[in-house]
Amino acid sequence: MFDLSIARIARLSMHLLNHDEEDGNDLSLSDDTVSLADPMVTALLEQYTIKPFQNFVDYQSFTYKNGDHTLNPLAILAGQMFDESESFHESTQRIAQHLHQNSNHHGIKSGDLMIALISDVTYEDEMIDAIGIFKSEQKDDFLKMTYKEANYNLQSDRGVNINKLDKGCIIFNTGASAGYVVASVDRTGKTDAQYWNDDFLQIKPLDDAFHATQQYMNMAQTFVSHRMGEEVNMNKGEQLGILNDAGQFFKKKDTYSEDEFKQEVLGGDHEIIESFQNYKKEYAQELQVDLPEQFGISNMAVKKSAKDFKSVLKLDKNFHVYIHGDRKLIEHGRDEDGRKFYKLYYEEEA
């Protein structure tokens, strides 16, 4: 969607968020932007901040607690920065204050906040700007080795690992009327760090083919793997056959049609279809997502979700049967001694 291969940082401001209990919950705002005079330092900085987003696919957009994205503080500030209606540095100070106000949880770590104006982002054959917001929380110990006059000198120091961005987001200057397009990463993966996406950014999945495909594949996978087995009289082999058909459906189709899915994957079975419709309704309500009956299928989303559609039938500790074809060629039964079995039909042995 966005090509960041030649993107560069044009302007940069940094501020310090301190959450240490001894020093208090303080915010230190810098007086001016950071100099980017050293090309080597700038290149390392761009590797640290921009590179993690080069192959990004899971885009979001701004929202707000009442659903009106126009009230989102970051959407407002980003718009002002793109329009150059306010000083860049003053806007970064307001972003830092907004993050500080939403960082009250006791588990939130101190960190250096970097806010950058990113230029030369390619989007649909045009060059656009973006705003990058990055928070560095983790510091690594490292050794600095110097060789002078035939002797080595060793010193220890602490710094940021440029290959490990802790938290970051890029706001692209497109789709302003719908809440912009936002890419966000949070490497911490901890529950108490959800303040970054939920409280600070306040973002939601972008309403596009990628998210529609991803939501439907996740919903279909959980339905077949869990709900269907509880409500429909079906053995595990049949379930996995349907799961395989569902995965193949998304791989082979360009457009999702719910009517086609019900016929080709669920076999037009009224009992299964009714169970599927009930589960879809529950899923949409619980996650507060829209599940349209027709949309374009995203190949990126299919590849990302494909791992959840592995159809492996595990029989005790003796056999693993991989089901990736016609589920009618496998039958389930029980012999006269009560032992369960599966019967496989095939033409050639590879």
Question: If we measure between CA atoms, which residue out of 184, 196, 52 comes closest to residue 111?
Answer: 196
Strand partners, 159: 140
Res 50: pLDDT: 96
259 phi-psi bin (left φ>0, alpha ψ -120 to 50, beta other): alpha
Res 326: pLDDT: 66
CA separation for the pair 52, 3 (Å, rounded): 12
Low-confidence ranges of the chain (pLDDT < 70): 20-25, 106-107, 189-193, 311-313, 323-327, 350
Res 323: pLDDT: 67
Contact 255, 243 (CB under 8 A): no
Res 74: pLDDT: 96
